[in-house]
Amino acid sequence: MDTTGRTRQAVTAYIDSAERRDWESFGALLAEDMVYEMPQTRERIRGKAAFLRFNREYPGDWHLEVRRVVADGRHAAVWVDARVGAERQDACVWFEMSEQGLISQVTDYWPEAYEPPSGREHLVERW
């Protein structure tokens, strides 16, 4: 498998193992010195141990499903359908892989719904 194929497999397994709460498989995908960032809250977690704990402790009956994986060498982006109870939210997750094929950087965006500004109703439809 080439680098892109290996990256695609790793980031897909990242979402799927988190959804299954299979923390052993999840941890096996991560570099020891990986860094996780959430730019919206300016939060950063350093290291696999803290990141595993963050995920294991994350509250709520959350569910994740891959909508799309885009893999390109040692980079990838995953478009995720997340759900907590009846609440749906999309996530955009950016990945970087180490030379060894482990996930070394994860950046999460959790965009919230909002009402559109006025003035463009003539161009758009709503759903």
Summarize as ranges the residues that interact with a second copy (CB under 8 A).
4, 8, 38-46, 50, 53-54, 57, 59, 68-72, 75-77, 79, 90, 92, 94, 109-116, 119-120, 123-127
Q: What are phi and psi of 18, to 5 degrees?
A: -65, -45
**Residue closer to a second copy, measured from CB, 31 or 71:** 71
In this complex, which beta carbon is closest to a second copy, that of residue 20 or of residue 53?
53
> Is the separation of the CB atoms in 91 and 83 below 8 Å?
no
Smaller CB distance to a second copy: residue 29 or 95?
A: 95
Contact call for residues 7 and 73 (beta carbons, < 8 A): yes
Please give the distance of CA 74 from its chain centroid, rounded to a whole number: 15
